[in-house]
Chains A and B, each alone.
Chain A
Amino acid sequence: MTVSSRLSSDNKQMVISINERFDFSSHQQFRDAYNNERLKGLTYILDLSKTEYMDSSALGMILLLKDHVHLYSGDLIISKPSATVRKILEIAQFQRLMTIE
């Protein structure tokens, strides 16, 4: 399983982690990870610390997640991307669209 998600016990945080490759093959898993989550005001943390590779369709998937988060008035934080992944996020200037830490 390359995508895993976990809701914190206080129902305030949803952590989605992606192992190894984040590309079109994880499309369905990634959507399933958040799609049924309807809680308002959640902070979504996309944990990319274990992601080794990301392609542009992954960027598209992050944008879909962002739309979902906005729909339920939550926040989106991209957490601990590796240097390679950070470079891809920077080329797409995603730091201007969301928080990356």
Chain B
Amino acid sequence: MPNSHKLALIVDDSKMQCKLLSVLLQEENYQVVVANDGASGVQMYIEHQPDLVLMDINMPIMDGFEATRRIKQLSGAGNLAPLIFITSMDNEQAFIESVEAGGDSILVRPFSPQVFKAKIKAIQRISDLVEQVKGLQQEQQNDAELAEKMMSGVIEARNYGLDKIGVIKKAATIFSGDIQLSALCPNGNIHVLLGDFTGHGLRSSIGAIPVTETFRAMTNKGFSILEIVSQLNKQLHTLLPGDLFFAASFACISDHERSAYIFNAGLPEGYLFNGEGEIKKQFSSSHPPLGILPQLLPDTQLEVVQIYSGDRLVFITDGIVEARNPEGELYGFPRFENAAIAGIKQNQLVNKVLNSLDDFCQHCEQEDDISLVDVPCSGWQKIEFNNKTSPEHLILNESLIDDEQTYLPTWSYHLHLTGKLLKTVNPIPLVMNQINDIEGAGEHWQSLYTILTELFVNALDHGVLQLNSSLKDSAEGFSQYFNERAKRLDNLAVNTINSPDNFVRITLEYFPLSHGGKMIINIKDSGKGFDIVDVMKRNNIAENDGIKLSGRGVELVNQLCDTLEYLEHGTSVTASYIWHD
């Protein structure tokens, strides 16, 4: 705005000087107001908010230094109304003091009108630059706030189970480098992620969107946590610059399996609490943060724990334990744990931790993003299965052949996995993708997903790997089972000579019905089979004793299927699944 009049304030006890300076300023297109002592100068500054101040030093009532200190205090650091001392005190002390009082420049009498005008122009140029920077800053702030709104819309608003998962999220700057995600798997399991990108601010938030998209898409398609972690790592390795990485904890909570799978790559220890607030287990970081290595380390595996009603998983980022109080002390793990335990007892973990943290920090400036997720392990809504079921559907007759199947399927699909591929490939998402591609997406595929997963895992674990499910009947055996499983899978991968002998074959046949459809699933494995009648009997006895931890999978499948039969001494299973539109 070059034509608008700027306002100058002259503070000088000599009326003569005021007159002289006014004329010069008016020639430079300034409007002028005048004060004749320091105190009224401050008053005029408040009233008129001038664009420029000319200040004498020696004045009655309040001298120029004091008036300047007050004016600068009023205008604040971000708001520069340039202030020039006009003085005949030509000594070093005056110069130093004038700068210390907050003056932006000094002009020593006598000076020519040309020198005076040049000085005004120079100082105005600096003040214009400050204005420009302020404008840009404001613009950037507005953009950042808008982007933040959009980001949290994409990231948090679409999280699953927001009413049940407790969250703390306090960003150090507008953009948080921390993200919290939750999503529902097709079989009703819950996937949770708490992650922390290096640094904070916009730079650290950029990775959040691809991470969110991958996490959600892969969870929806039925990929396991480990597969999602591996894909995220690969993606972030190519995407992020060398010094930027992503520390994160992951959990898969399976209500029907009563187990949780946990993976911690670079975050502080995660916790499993029981309903009384006791720490049942902690999960230390077992892998470098994601995005550093091109692939996950070869021995990467998840931790598996049994979960009971009332248990909660709690993940935190380092911002909590590294928060400082005014004395510079760290908040630390013990304070956090005490607050969390007290919080669980009162069923308000998030509030307790937040209050304790606020009490401790006392409004100290927050150095890092602070976040926490608190996920209940039970009480998740069971997936609604639309099949009516009764145990009589379980057909144990090995010679029974379904004669009614006289017409041909409209399509069929076979997948035959051998040897080390059984360790490295998860066939279920592949199969589900095929079904979605041919028949389109639909709610009813959720049950099919569960059927396929359970039957495949059974064929692999009990068929090919010959693991005994009764191991899972005790808590110690539970983790032993998973260790043994990992070991045997590794053997499959190493032992390439015999590998074609180990296989699982999945066959699907699809029959359209007038209002819906029917899928026949057959899964055949290379194992030794089992005595079906014996297993069912044992399970029944165990169930009556209320101690059974294994065998839930088959039960669930049985409820979902129309028919389920084991053939060929238990090495082949055929399930049929019917749904109606």
Contacts and interface: CB of A to CB of B under 8 A. Distances in A.
Interface in A1-60: 24, 55-57, 59-60
B291 to A, nearest CB: 10
Given A56-B199, A56-B247, A91 B242 contact: no
B242 A64 contact: yes
Interface residues of B, number: 23
Interface in B54-94: none
A83 interface: no
Contacts of B244: 60
A23 B242 CA distance: 16
B285 A92 contact: yes
Interface in B275-330: 284-289, 292-293, 297, 318
Given A64-B243, A96-B287, 5 more contacts: A56-B198, A60-B198, A92-B288, A92-B289, A93-B265
Contacts of A60: 198-199, 242-245
Contacts of A57: 198-199, 243
A37 B393 CA distance: 74
A63 B268 contact: no
A96 B267 contact: no
11 contacts: A24-B199, A59-B245, A60-B199, A63-B243, A64-B242, A91-B285, A92-B247, A92-B266, A93-B265, A96-B288, A96-B297
Contacts of B318: 56, 91
A16 B266 CA distance: 25
Contact of A93 (B196, B198, B266, B268): B266
Nearest to B264: A91
A61 interface: yes
B255 interface: no
A97 B297 CA distance: 10
Interface string A80-96: 00000000001111101
Interface string B239-265: 000111101000000000000000001
Most buried by A among B199, B287, B292: B292
Contacts of B199: 24, 56-57, 60
Contacts of A24: 199
A59 B198 contact: yes
B287 A93 contact: yes
Interface of B: 196, 198-199, 242-245, 247, 265-268, 284-289, 292-293, 297, 318, 368
A94 B288 contact: yes
B271 to A, nearest CB: 15
A93 B242 contact: no
B288 A97 contact: yes
A57 B247 CA distance: 12
A61 B289 contact: no
Contacts of B285: 90-93
A2 to B, nearest CB: 17
A63 B292 contact: yes
Closest 9 A/B residue pairs (Cβ): A60-B243, A93-B288, A60-B198, A92-B266, A64-B243, A91-B285, A56-B198, A64-B242, A57-B199
A64 B242 CA distance: 6
Contact of A61 (B243, B267, B268, B286): B243
A70 B199 CA distance: 24
A33 to B, nearest CB: 15
A61 B242 CA distance: 8
B90 to A, nearest CB: 40
B143 to A, nearest CB: 23
